Chains A and B, each alone.
Chain A
Amino acid sequence: MSARNKLRGSDLLAQRWTKQDLAKLIDIEHDGVNLVEFFPKGIPDPDGGWGTWHVKPDALLKFLGTLLKHDKIPGVWVFPKGIGPVDGFDVGFQAGSARER
């Protein structure tokens, strides 16, 4: 199989998610953290999705700590925002049947 057609390890990690895991993930409430986009996959019965949280700098470590308490971790990536000093982070995730962004 060529590299182009192969699924990344993090895609395969994301496939382990169930609808219940997904519901727990998008229900996370945390100071300094906002879920700003979420796209469900698997209409009419979503079993996955991808989205982004905006996270304030001082909330990042605590928020990642919250994610770690979940039984399963989705594909997660962190991007700093701001020119010069970082004024926030985008924390993106993909879970369940969503394997591509």
Chain B
Amino acid sequence: MSKYKNPNSLQTTALQCERGGRVLFDNLAFELHAGEALLVQGANGSGKTSLLRIITGLTTAIEGDVLWNGALITDDEQAYQRELLFIGHQAAIKQELSVRENLRLHYALNGCEADSMVDLAEKVGLRQRLGVICSRLSAGQQRRVSLARLFLSEQPLWILDEPLTALDVDFIATIEARLQTHLANGGMLILTTHRGLDLGTATVRHLDLNKSAKN
């Protein structure tokens, strides 16, 4: 059932993060295995985005390590980053480019050929909008362009920061279905969200940053 070579695991040990002289979280440890999801919760400013960035390796924690399959992610950063898909809370699409051009960038980011672009646009409901410059799209449509990467991704570890912002109910259901497939295939998921999310039968772990905060 697992489409990934070996069952992956992600582990953190005693992570500490500081922003502007304030400790956001301390001694944060969790483990995540293939097919599991981690739901990071917490109030605004509790360090959710910082945590996700630490897990991607973009930021380094003051203390503590992130381990991918038992090895430090800094040991072979490139190999690790090949295994993960990160979609931040900013849409990361270029406003000056058309939907088609942005999707083409997605393909390139994923390192594959842009052969099924119309299908991809169909999946995110933007088939009629392929030629439109992204700055003319609504916030929700821009988010759809950004989330189109989920339908291309072959990476086992998905890290999503507030993926559901500005989406309509129909598309949230599409994304939920996609996340469920990913987990059923043995993928891993870490996400922050302020609203409920139906992840089906997958094991969902919860991480509440309010509890691990130190004032």
Genuine A/B complex: no
What residues of chain B have their CB less than 8 Å away from a CB belonging to chain A? none
